[in-house]
Amino acid sequence: MGGGIPSGFSAVINGPSGSGKSVLATSFLKAGAAIGEHGLVASYENSFFHAYNAPLHDLIEAGKVTEIRPGSFGASIEEIVTELAEAVERTGARRLVVDSLTALELILAPQFRENFQESLFRMLSNLHARGVTVLMVRNLSDSGGQVLSSHSFMVDCIISLRVVEHDNKMIKLISIPKIRGCAHSNEIRTFITVEDGIEIGGPLE
């Protein structure tokens, strides 16, 4: 996936705890800040703002990323969309991270949870119309879970992260099951986390 996530796309990162989702999401925001694109983080989970995520805190302190917490328990999708739209207009944000898609679904009122696909479609359509590139974090169980979920058809890109045991070591893997209209590798590759984000290695052997 040369060049990263295309501007205006919606993408989802699937992965279990400790697989590197927050590191990759922070790299997405950092890359945007480097070219003058303000970032938003719609945070529904405290994990994303863990004390050890110094790069993200630095971006917030520098005024390059804004943290928001749109909606509250029992919110309607209209409330979420309105608050996101107002934040985009207020900050001029071009990039948004939703942490996490799993938690967002849980805070919605029951009638919106029951048809989460429609709710998500309305949210993404509104953000797409505003030219915002969206990256959503989706938590999977340690056993893997379903990478291609029922709402996968709505997003332009799916990034899959895994942690597996190999030669008595735990290694991290990355793959791109889907990216709409763009050439990309279909290989499952190893990666490591580094100071500036992630460093992708070769295929798993």
Domains and CATH numbers, the chain: 10-161 (3.40.50.300)
- The answer, yes or no, to whether residue 1 has pLDDT greater than 60, is no
What would the mean pLDDT of 61-86 be, rounded to a whole number?
90
DSSP per-residue letters across 64-85: SEEEE----TTB-HHHHHHHHH
The pLDDT > 70 percentage for the chain reads 90
pLDDT of amino acid 204:
76
What would the mean pLDDT of 87-101 be, rounded to a whole number?
94
pLDDT band of residue 73 (cuts 50, 70, 90) is confident
- The answer, yes or no, to whether residue 174 has pLDDT greater than 80, is yes
Taken in order 199, 131, 62, 138, is the CA torsion positive or negative? negative
pLDDT single digits (tens) 108-143: 999 888 888 888 999 999 999 999 999 999 988 754
Spatial strand order in the sheet of 157-166: 65-68, 39-43, 95-99, 133-139, 10-15, 157-166, 169-179, 189-194, 197-203
- The answer, yes or no, to whether residue 6 has pLDDT greater than 60, is yes
